[in-house]
């Protein structure tokens, strides 16, 4: 994917080539005034639907945990390519081109105020999607295998997720998708860090009281993940 840079007041927009982005695209109130701006998430990862027909998702970068009490959405400026929005855009672009089920990135905005920046990301919306946290109890073994295949494909092609949990896995008619790759990166396929992604996901299911009821589904996910990660699955 090719991206073009647009200079704005105190910052930069990096967008898909030929898109001609506007700074207003990153303002939720701009979309709400146009009967868009549906909230799609909650908490730190809250996102809203934007675009002429809600075909995109806008997410503002916010801190979690204790740092959020000090600097909710500000990050230390170390150069444009080291900002979290740009790094996530680059990662999504690489993985999308490799056929990994992640959203296609559209644009990012980085606004700098001295040594601090704030950022936003727009990506393509996955239509008809619900989170694993919302639908896990109703899933059959085939849908759990879809999730395992998606994670296995992600890992086989070098992906590592910083916070793989039940809210960052989407189920849609088009399949299973991984979202919110903030702080994710490319690693050596098969490394221990990738396996720890699964441990984090399992703990997330446990915290949501979805285990042990979903244990058969979890086992189906693991089997599909192992097969796809090694190239033997879908």
Same domain for 95 and 196?
Answer: no
- Is beta strand 56-60 parallel, antiparallel or unpaired with respect to 47-50? antiparallel
CB 222 within 8 A of CB 148: yes
Same domain for 143 and 61?
Answer: no
What pLDDT, on a 0 to 100 scale, did the predictor assign at position 231? 85
Dist CA 53 CA 93 (whole Å): 23
Sequential pLDDT tens for the chain (234 residues)? 999 999 999 999 999 999 999 999 999 999 999 888 888 865 445 799 999 888 999 999 998 654 544 568 999 999 999 999 999 999 999 999 999 999 999 999 999 999 999 999 999 999 999 999 999 999 999 999 999 999 999 999 999 999 999 999 999 999 999 999 999 999 999 999 999 999 999 999 999 999 999 999 999 999 999 999 998 755
**Which domain covers residue 205, as residue numbers?**
130-229
Which two tokens mark 108?
Answer: 């990012």
Q: Which CATH number goes with the domain that contains 204? A: 1.10.510.10
Same domain for 150 and 111?
Answer: no
Q: Which CATH number goes with the domain that contains 15? A: 3.30.200
Count of structural domains within the chain: 2
**Domain ends where: 124, 150, 175?**
124
In a domain, 219, yes or no: yes
In a domain, 82, yes or no: yes
Same domain for 106 and 149?
Answer: no
What pLDDT, on a 0 to 100 scale, did the predictor assign at position 224? 98
**Domain ends where: 76, 96, 124?**
124
In a domain, 234, yes or no: no
Same domain for 115 and 7?
Answer: yes
Same domain for 118 and 7?
Answer: yes
Catalytic residue among 120, 146, 163, 182: 163
What pLDDT, on a 0 to 100 scale, did the predictor assign at position 65? 53
Dist CA 57 CA 12 (whole Å): 19
In a domain, 147, yes or no: yes
Dist CA 152 CA 135 (whole Å): 20
Same domain for 136 and 211?
Answer: yes
In a domain, 26, yes or no: yes
Same domain for 135 and 112?
Answer: no
Same domain for 150 and 224?
Answer: yes
Which two tokens mark 113?
Answer: 């105020």
Same domain for 60 and 31?
Answer: yes
Which two tokens mark 144?
Answer: 């759990």
| Helix runs in the chain, H state only | 28-32, 67-70, 84-97, 132-135, 141-156, 192-207, 215-229
Same domain for 222 and 201?
Answer: yes
182 an active-site residue?
no
Dist CA 19 CA 22 (whole Å): 9
Report if pTM > 0.75: yes
| Helix runs in 10-140, H state only | 28-32, 67-70, 84-97, 132-135
Burial (0-12, 13-18, 19+ Cβ within 10 Å), 124:
middle
What pLDDT, on a 0 to 100 scale, did the predictor assign at position 43? 46
In a domain, 58, yes or no: yes
What pLDDT, on a 0 to 100 scale, did the predictor assign at position 72? 82
Using CA atoms, how far residue 232 sits from 178, 218, 223, 227, 229, in Å, is 20, 19, 11, 5, 7
Which two tokens mark 42?
Answer: 């909650």
In a domain, 38, yes or no: yes
**Domain ends where: 63, 91, 124?**
124
CB 25 within 8 A of CB 122: yes
**pLDDT tens-digit series, residues 136-150:** 999 999 999 999 999
Same domain for 54 and 25?
Answer: yes
């Amino acid at each position: 994917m090719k991206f073009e840079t647009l200079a704005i007041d105190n910052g930069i927009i990096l967008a898909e080539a030929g898109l001609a982005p506007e700074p207003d695209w990153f303002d939720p109130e701009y979309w709400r005034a146009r009967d868009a701006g549906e909230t799609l998430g909650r908490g730190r990862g809250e996102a809203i639907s934007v675009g002429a027909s809600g075909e995109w998702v806008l997410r503002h970068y916010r801190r979690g945990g204790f740092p959020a009490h000090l600097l909710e959405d500000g990050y230390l400026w170390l150069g444009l390519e080291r900002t979290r929005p740009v790094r996530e855009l680059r990662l999504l672009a690489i993985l999308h081109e490799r056929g990994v089920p992640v959203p296609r990135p559209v644009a990012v905005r980085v606004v700098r105020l001295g040594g601090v920046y704030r950022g936003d990301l727009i990506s393509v919306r996955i239509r008809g999607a619900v989170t694993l946290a919302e639908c896990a109890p109703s899933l059959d073994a085939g849908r759990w295998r879809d999730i395992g295949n998606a994670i296995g494909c992600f890992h086989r092609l070098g992906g590592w997720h910083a916070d793989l949990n039940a809210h960052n896995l989407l189920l849609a008619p088009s399949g299973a998708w991984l979202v919110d790759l903030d702080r994710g990166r490319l690693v050596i396929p098969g490394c221990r860090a990738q396996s720890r992604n699964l441990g984090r996901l399992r703990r997330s299911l446990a915290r949501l009281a979805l285990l042990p009821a979903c244990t058969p589904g979890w086992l189906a996910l693991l089997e599909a993940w192992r097969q796809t990660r090694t190239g033997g699955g879908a």
